[in-house]
Amino acid sequence: MKHTITTLSLISLVLSACSPSSDDGKGKGVNSNSSNETKVESYGKLADGSEVKLFTFGNKNGMIAKVTEYGAILTSLEVPDKDGNVKDVTHGYDDLAGWLTNSSYFGATVGRYGNRIAGGKFEIDGEVYDKLVINNEPNHLHGGEMGFDKVLWKGEAIEGGVKLTYTSADGEEGYPGNLEVTVSYTLNDNNELKWTCTATTDKATPVNIVQHAYWNLSGDPTTSINDHILTIPAKYFLPTDATLIPDGSLAEVENTPFDFNTATVIGDRIEAESIPLQFGKGYDHCWAVDGEGLRQAAILRDPKTGRAMELHSDQPGVQFYGGNFLDGETAGKGGVKYGHRTACCLETQMFPDSPNKQDNPAFPNCIIKPGETYTHTMVSKFSW
């Protein structure tokens, strides 16, 4: 199956003219880039001595993105609010040492298969692959113990952003085939952060590469996202078993806590009596997004600051995770310990466990074969 992608031109950026160290008292100009070029600097070294780079790029409206080669991670995204206050709206860490402990997948590019694969095994053309690491008992999650989020990519500054490449070797984390992967992040003056991914293989393999940023649009990582307002244009979501593996059906969202077709406060129904909510300890489910091609997948808005993120994607699903497993133990940026539901994820993707549901017509094809190209585009458009 050929996976299509909308070709996106890289738009030249006009960056803020503020000094890198200036601050007007509202958070404006901090670490900003005064040229239209992506800034490249050393971010530290891994234990084997490999240097890790950090790429910084922005736009004329005051947004600033930072991406590191380690894990192809979006380390921060600074966004103005309605009053001009510029704040980082992502969870994460201050330095490379912190990112090396990143067990929550903050900001990462995850793969080879994002989300869960039941029992850590699947079959392709009669051949069983059963060596995937069980790192989310009893299932395989986000590519394993050394998934794409924990490897060193090769980064290259491009106009308005960064391009990163990685070769996942045949047998890595139990997956078949050598997979050549390219990920790009760009930011334009329309306030669109674009994440694109392509991959090719020399042997049939499941692929579902996912961007895993944690968002709190208030800019205050100590506050709950339960007051954020969410829209997901989807008539169906995927019910799961108690281990969060889809049961193979698509359930209608109408008259359930999973209906976000109209803008709804996240916390309004989170305590509702619902078996799917009990299994996920809140929202941690995949919605089957209406339509095909590059289209709206979600809108997230913080009513206090006016910041909003409109998400577009060409993938069949979006996983909304409400930060249910954040427990206040992980110390992140500025030493803040990230509490329960202080951020959420909106991960555009294939459906979870699709490798084990290849005969289910409701599930998308996730198997890429030699000569085919996997593509994934996600556009996060911000306003305030």
Name all domains of the chain by residue range, CATH numbers in brackets. Answer: 39-383 (2.70.98.10)
Structure pTM? 0.90
With bands split at pLDDT 50, 70 and 90, how would you rate the model's confidence at 193? Answer: very high
pLDDT digit string (tens) for 150-189?
Answer: 999 999 999 999 999 999 999 999 999 999 999 999 999 9
Q: What is the mean pLDDT of the chain?
A: 92
- Percentage of the chain beyond pLDDT 70 is 91
pLDDT at 6: 34
pLDDT at 33: 45
- Percentage of the chain beyond pLDDT 90 is 90
Measured CA to CA, the distance from residue 92 to residue 216 in angstroms comes to 11
SS3 of 289, please? coil
- Above 60 in pLDDT, residue 250? yes
**Which residues, 6 or more positions from 338, have their beta carbon under 8 angstroms from its beta carbon?**
91, 104, 221, 323, 326, 328, 330, 332
In 3D space, the residue among 187, 144, 178, 180 whose CA is nearest the CA of residue 165 turns out to be 180
Name the one residue in this structure whose structure tokens are 């050929």: 2
With bands split at pLDDT 50, 70 and 90, how would you rate the model's confidence at 3? Answer: very low
CA angle 289, 10, 76 (to 5 degrees): 70
SS3 of 124, please? strand
Burial class (CB in 10 A: 0-12, 13-18, 19+), 47: exposed
pLDDT at 5: 33
In 3D space, the residue among 178, 211, 180, 166 whose CA is nearest the CA of residue 74 turns out to be 211
- Yes or no: say if 92 and 76 are a contact pair by the CB < 8 Å rule: yes
Residues 200-226, mean pLDDT to the nearest whole number: 98
SS3 of 141, please? strand
pLDDT digit string (tens) for 271-308?
Answer: 999 999 999 999 999 999 999 999 999 999 999 999 99
- DSSP secondary structure letter of residue 272: S
Q: Is 212 a catalytic residue?
A: yes
Number of Cβ atoms within 10 Å of the Cβ of 82: 12
pLDDT digit string (tens) for 348-372?
Answer: 999 999 999 999 999 999 999 999 9
- Yes or no: say if 276 and 240 are a contact pair by the CB < 8 Å rule: yes
pLDDT at 37: 84
Measured CA to CA, the distance from residue 90 to residue 99 in angstroms comes to 13
How far, in Å, are 14, 300, 383 from residue 62 at the CA level? 10, 20, 12
pLDDT at 36: 64
| Cis, bond preceding 269 (omega within 30 deg of 0) | no
| Residue from 69, 140, 347, 376 carrying the catalytic annotation | 347
- Yes or no: say if 328 and 322 are a contact pair by the CB < 8 Å rule: no
In SS3 terms, 231-271 reads as: ECCCCEECCECCCCCECCCCEECCCCCCCCCCCEEHHHCCC
CA angle 153, 116, 181 (to 5 degrees): 25
Q: Name which of 26-35, 159-168, 180-189, 248-257 the model is least confident about.
A: 26-35
Measured CA to CA, the distance from residue 324 to residue 312 in angstroms comes to 24
Show the beta-strand stretches assigned E in 85-149: 86-88, 108-110, 116-117, 122-124, 127-129, 140-141
* Amino acid (1-letter code) at residue 288: A
Q: Is 91 a catalytic residue?
A: no
Number of Cβ atoms within 10 Å of the Cβ of 361: 6
| Residue from 212, 228, 285, 312 carrying the catalytic annotation | 212
- Above 50 in pLDDT, residue 10? no
